[in-house]
Structures are given as structure tokens and as C-alpha cells.
């Protein structure tokens, strides 16, 4: 495990080419662990905490160009040049931003349940309310935090997901920075077309990768392929891990 002055990361060396896994909002490098464990059999796998998440550095800046540069700085720290990038939600947007910042270093991409578009609807305000309520209450135990969060979040799985980043009464993400930059995180600036192979995986029950975004998506990624997984929502990799793993393995083996 390597801790540099930018991002906290963990590399598991097996074979080339390397794969970079990028988690979503409120996540950490462990969130794509089920995918990582599968891919370690055949690839070098690098997992990272995005800035303002996990054990990585804090910053007031959260635009996608900066977060994409973080990824390339981390690749350099691990002496990795060309990479396959897999990202979920916000992590998928970071992956796509990498293709504009340094396209020759991105070999392939898998984008999980996110589109390269601006989402005008605020989808996470209840989560911010819950996180701040826990902080204001000054509790240190997860069971106490869970009870507080249940007042504003009615999905136990979401509470459990957030509590993975709750340690000794502190959140391992920068709640203030995420709130202040939320419009940037949910927003998007259209990218130049990237002609490399890219797979978009959608949970059928999720609206993040709706068909209405298809034309905008194809303008930026003309060679995009799509795979829809039934019975899953936005956290499709957690709900249907084997289906996601199969889709990724097929895509990576496709010449």
C-alpha cells in the first residue's frame, strides 16, 4: 500500500495491463472491492480514495479536471503508464475526464451507471442532512449514528454504505467540501470525442444512465457499448456483482 501526498491508494500486482478502479461519491477504495478481487487474477489492480474521501488529501477544489489529474499523478507514483479505467458514478465521470486530459494513457474504460451529462436534480440532500446530524450529535458508535440517520434516510443499505466511512465519531470524507462542490460533482462539461473502447453498465432500475442521454453520450464516446443489468439500481455492482463481473470480463477480452 502506498500513501503519497495526493491520494491514498492500494496496488495489487499480478499481470499487465493495469486496471484503475475509481469509487463514487461518499465512497472509498474498498467500494469496488468485489470487482477488484475478480480482476486481480489477471491484472494489476490499483484502487484509490478520491480526494476528500477515505484517507486521501483534502481540498476545496472538486472539479473533474483536477480529480482526473489526481489519477494520473497516482499512476505515476505507481509507475503505471497505460491503464484500463473502471469507475462508478462520480468515479465514472472522473474516468471519462481522464480520456480528455491524457487520452493516450487510457486504454479502455468501463463506466458504471453514470452518463457524461449534467444532472440538475439534487439527489443526495437527505444524505448530507443525515451526515451533519450525526456530526452535530457528537456520537462515536455506528449503532448510534445509524439511529440518527434513519430519521432522514429510509434505505438501510444506503445508511450501511455511508457508515463504512464513519470511524471513531468522524467521517472519512470531507462533508463540507462535497456540499460546496455538489453542483460541480453532479454537473458536466462536454468532452472532445474519445474514440477508444468504452462500456457503459447500467442498472435497469436506475435513472442515471437513462436512454434520453444516448445522443449526448455517443457524441463524446462514439464507440460506446452498453450493457443493462435487470433487477439492479444505481449500486449495480453491489446488487448484482456476478453479472457486472461477467460483463467486464467479456468487454476486456473483446479484441
> What tens digit of pLDDT does each residue of 67-93 get?
999 999 999 999 999 999 999 999 999
Q: Which long-range contacts (CB under 8 A, 24 or more apart) does 98-105 make?
A: 98/68, 98/71, 98/72, 99/191, 99/194, 99/196, 100/68, 100/191, 100/192, 100/194, 101/65, 101/68, 101/69, 101/72, 102/68, 102/72, 103/194, 103/196, 105/72, 105/75, 105/81
In a domain, 36, yes or no: yes
Q: How many domains does one find in the chain?
A: 2
Residue 206, in any domain of the structure:
yes
Identify whether residues 225 and 100 lie together within a single domain.
yes
**In whole angstroms, what is the distance from residue 87 CA to residue 93 CA?**
7
Report whether pLDDT(255) > 90.
no
Same domain, 114 and 211: yes
Annotated catalytic residue: which of 9, 89, 99, 206? 89
- Determine contact, residues 73/6, Cβ cutoff 8 Å: yes
Residues 104 and 57 occupy one common structural domain: yes
Tell whether 208 and 114 lie within a shared domain: yes
Residue 89 catalytic? Answer: yes
169 falls within a domain: yes
Q: Are 87 and 48 in a shared domain?
A: yes
Within this chain, do residues 37 and 144 fall inside the same structural domain, yes or no? no
Give the pTM: 0.94
The residue to which cell 434520453 is assigned = 212
pLDDT at residue number 17: 80
Q: Give the model's pLDDT for residue 181.
A: 98
> If pLDDT is split at 50, 70 and 90, which confidence band does 4 have?
very low
The pLDDT value given to residue 41: 86
**What pLDDT does residue 14 have?**
54
Domain span at residue 83? 2-119+187-253
- pLDDT bracket for residue 246 (50, 70, 90): very high
Catalytic residue among 8, 88, 124, 234: 234
Distance CA 162, CA 160 (A): 5
Confidence of residue 1 (pLDDT cuts 50, 70, 90): very low
182 in a structural domain: no
Same domain, 89 and 9: yes
If asked whether residues 160 and 49 sit together in one domain, one would say: no
CATH number, domain containing residue 56: 3.40.50.1820
Residue 16's pLDDT is what? 66
Amino acid at each position: 500500500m502506498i500513501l503519497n501526498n495526493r491520494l491514498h491508494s492500494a496496488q495489487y500486482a499480478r499481470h499487465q495491463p493495469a486496471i484503475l478502479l475509481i469509487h463514487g461519491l461518499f465512497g472509498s477504495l474498498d467500494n469496488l472491492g468485489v470487482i477488484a478481487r475478480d480482476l486481480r487474477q489477471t491484472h494489476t489492480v490499483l484502487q484509490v480514495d478520491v480526494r476528500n474521501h477515505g484517507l486521501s488529501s483534502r481540498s476545496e477544489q472538486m472539479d473533474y479536471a483536477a480529480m482526473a489529474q489526481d489519477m494520473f499523478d497516482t499512476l505515476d507514483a505507481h509507475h503505471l503508464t497505460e491503464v484500463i479505467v473502471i469507475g462508478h458514478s462520480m468515479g465514472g465521470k472522473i474516468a471519462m475526464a481522464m480520456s480528455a486530459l491524457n487520452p493516450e494513457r487510457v486504454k479502455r474504460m468501463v463506466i458504471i451507471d453514470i452518463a457524461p451529462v449534467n444532472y440538475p436534480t439534487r439527489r443526495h440532500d437527505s444524505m448530507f442532512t443525515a451526515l451533519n446530524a450525526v456530526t452535530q450529535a457528537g456520537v462515536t458508535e455506528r449503532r448510534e449514528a445509524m439511529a440518527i440517520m434513519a430519521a432522514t434516510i429510509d434505505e438501510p443499505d444506503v445508511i450501511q454504505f455511508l457508515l463504512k466511512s464513519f470511524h471513531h465519531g468522524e467521517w472519512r470524507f470531507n462533508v463540507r467540501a462535497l456540499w460546496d462542490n455538489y453542483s460541480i460533482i453532479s454537473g458536466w462539461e462536454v468532452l472532445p470525442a474519445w474514440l477508444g473502447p468504452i462500456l457503459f453498465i447500467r442498472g435497469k432500475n436506475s435513472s442515471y444512465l437513462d436512454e434520453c442521454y444516448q445522443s449526448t453520450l455517443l457524441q463524446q464516446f462514439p464507440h460506446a457499448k452498453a450493457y443493462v443489468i435487470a433487477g439492479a439500481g444505481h449500486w449495480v455492482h453491489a446488487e448484482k456483482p456476478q453479472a457486472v463481473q461477467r460483463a467486464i470480463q467479456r468487454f476486456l477480452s473483446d479484441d
